[in-house]
Chain A
């Protein structure tokens, strides 16, 4: 495995907070892997994603190191694509979808306006937006939440970053869309040889496609390992509890139902 980034003793404390949001995280990110960062609210999982992308706001004090294999720290938008939880908040309502998807490619790849539009169209096709030529000229409010998130993914991928970080990209979406978004992300990174860091509270969602999982709780890394190994034999009691509290359609109901 080639190392992409070695995270060492990373701690983050937000201004005005007594307890750190992240405390002493050691985690290796391998090139080309799909890594799921799993945690409940307050676990620090989103802080980790933002710290990795260099997106922490000014008020946060950061200690520790990110050792990038490439040497220079990657540039957000160019070397790292970031997909946020709420696609409505990450897209501007006043620019066409084509302009927004093309923006990263024009800035970082130096494409002309015309070439940028052609590139944006190709990106929309890659994220499987229906009627991409029409969507290209449209605005975000004309799309459903799931389609908006596809557009946000297209924009994040437009500058051909080597690393895609997705911070709960399906939490604001309708129940029907998450499985499709997750499948899309998995395919895109595999086909492009990219690395994916996928942040989610849902261990089951991660179990379907992540190569490795890292379990966070209260700002600390509880456990990390290959997805199958961690799920089959969790080392930490907390991980076992997370797995046990997962509920799907095969889980016995809490009520006794007539005829069930």
Chain B
């Protein structure tokens, strides 16, 4: 079932007096429960696309149907209500939250704002969400500043799934994490998808991360999607120059015993 159908999205920015094309006729679809990996070099437009789809920046042109509705046509209270269905996780785990907040309101806000649960049930739901992302319930009382980077990203995920979204847009959601933490967060995201049928638009410059979690991969270059297909196909047999460059750029673990100086 098609959850998201974006057609011909355009976006231009004025930067230093120059007119910069960020999105140039981008179309994509996403099915319920599917992960679309969106890769590209910096400046390719992938973060702009994520922000246009989440209505953080307006599109200059194009249409988006999401969950059966004209998503770009929604406004005001109607848009706020529907935002429950599309959530976002940002790369900068510290910058995404009010640093003075404790963990509980960060997760409780979407429950309250979107009317998911009456006040009486929210404390228990916060504990359940914390438990689901692998944190003890006692974390609810902690200050956001006092939890580690990996834990903060778990809290960001708990907040994103609190409003029971159909789609979560993950913008470089694991890029700032150490590799050992990164793997655990990826495993968590995959498990949540299997349980709840969430679709992900996973934006990353790191093709190795996308290869781990994506059903399909789309490659962006200069504001356009230049290639899209099943993950294994795009990685194993990239067609565009941009995709080939991204494949080549993934560092491979070289294990060899010879002395390099002897060669």
Contacts and interface: CB of A to CB of B under 8 A. Distances in A.
A176 B258 CA distance: 28
B149 A40 contact: no
B230 A257 contact: yes
B259 A226 contact: yes
B212 A253 contact: yes
Interface of A: 40-41, 145, 174-179, 201-205, 207-208, 211, 226-229, 231-232, 241-243, 245-251, 253-255, 257-260
B195 interface: no
Contacts of B186: 254
Nearest to A141: B16
Nearest to B176: A41
Contact of A174 (B205, B211, B231, B256): B205
18 contacts: A175-B41, A176-B245, A205-B251, A208-B252, A228-B259, A231-B253, A245-B179, A246-B253, A247-B183, A251-B211, A251-B212, A254-B187, A255-B190, A257-B230, A259-B230, A259-B232, A260-B230, A260-B232
Given A241-B180, A255-B215, A247 B209 contact: yes
A203 B253 CA distance: 7
Contact of A249 (B230, B235, B254): B235
B247 to A, nearest CB: 7
Contact of A228 (B149, B182, B257): B257
B207 A175 contact: yes
A143 B238 CA distance: 28
Given A231-B253, A255-B213, 4 more contacts: A40-B178, A41-B149, A176-B245, A248-B253
B183 A245 contact: yes
Decide if the interface of chain A is mainly helix, strand, loop or mixed.
Answer: loop
B248 to A, nearest CB: 7
Interface in B175-193: 178-180, 182-183, 186-187, 190, 193
A260 B229 CA distance: 12
B254 A176 contact: no
B259 to A, nearest CB: 7
A113 to B, nearest CB: 30
Contacts of B215: 255, 257-258
Interface in B144-197: 149, 178-180, 182-183, 186-187, 190, 193
B235 A40 contact: no
B208 interface: yes
A246 B250 contact: no
B77 interface: no
A227 B254 CA distance: 9
A222 B214 CA distance: 35
Contacts of A174: 41-43, 205
